[in-house]
Structure 1
Amino acid sequence: MSAPTLLVADDHPLFRAAVMHVLRERLPQYAIVEAASAATLGAALQAHPEVELVLLDLAMPGARGFSVLLHVRGEYPEIPVVIISSNDHPRVIRRAQQFGAAGFIPKSTPADTMGAALDAVLAGDNWFPPMVAERSEADAALAARLAQLTPQQFRVLLCLADGLLNKQIAHELGLAENTVKVHVTAILKKLECYSRTQAAVLVKSLENDQDM
């Protein structure tokens, strides 16, 4: 039986190594898997069903703001996700919380505090630094609408946001073109969007004005 595993997803090798050092010191009973992009994160989650927690940088290649967080939460709702980011603006932290993260650890956090935060999340609690940003009803409504999408529909939505046509999406995701059409219709209905462009703008709203 595979050992319980933690997945560290960050595109900076030195920071990834530093986080893994903290994990090995604090949580030696866990195996560790790495990912350096949104694509390798998805592949790692498929290859390692024993993953019990994901530590996620929001600014990896292939990520679009909070899209990776939403995608992981939609496809693997049983796995808690802790955001690790250099952008600890209160609104970023609040959005991470509203979009389903179980925790948020600024990259400037001392190792002991990081370890305590991960202990809390693995015990079933949440861990966030103090915030002053107010809850956003718009973000709450957006999260609720996106939560209606199936994992496949979310993948199609991200392709829509990249401006791909149905035929291109079908090739990208290995689907029949008619299946893509059905997904697009369902996506627009669930998101209350009147056009593909409007859906793309909605995905754009998942990004932050500041680097994450």
Structure 2
Amino acid sequence: MRRRHSDAHEERNWLDQRGAEVDGGAQSVAAEAEETSDPVEIIQRGAHRGLTLATAESLTAGSLAARLADVPGASAVLLGGVVAYCNEVKHHLLAVDAELLESRGAVDPAVAAAMARGAAAATGADIGIATTGVAGPEPHEGKDVGTVYLGLACSDEAVQRLGLRLPDDCVEDLEYASDGEGASWSAGSLLLNLDGDRAGIREASVEGALKLIDDFLHTEPSGIGEPR
């Protein structure tokens, strides 16, 4: 049974105490993340603050957007998403640099950050969240099965307006502080090293991405009467 979310945030230790990467069995990582994050609260908190969100997904293939869209009223926050399985889609629809994809491959922290920024920029959202990784059954581009990067980006306008900051566990990528069109962004990534089968790795990636968004929204000062 899911814990009450106000209680769960008193135990915000899934990412908060792990540093810039998360290691573990996919099923346990997914369960721990799910216990301390809630799509309903993500949508409610975002709507209350006038924040919008977009997704960019590779290995999760739309599952992250679907989890958010299951929440009644999600359209107030979730603007859309891109399933970018191949590099051409990452480049053409999400504006991920072609040279970056060529030199470092799709499973990379900078690519994850760029995907998140690209999703937000393409849809006009304040926040972008991205997943890219290797679900298996075989390694890909020299990366082991279970290697997953979660990307997070937010417009600096929203960051400054609400006092947000990237969670401590999210490694900032200053290279993607601008989209080349005058807009500025805060962007970064988190590494998951997961053990498990394809389904378990994908599930843990979705729950981990939700947890990352949730943690990001809780970096702002709490409103009056709002539990942390």
Q: TM-score, normalised by structure 2?
A: 0.31
Q: Which has the higher strand share?
A: 2
Higher relative contact order (CA 8 A, sep 6+): 2
Q: Which has the higher helix share?
A: 1
For the pair shown, the structure with the greater C-alpha radius of gyration is 1
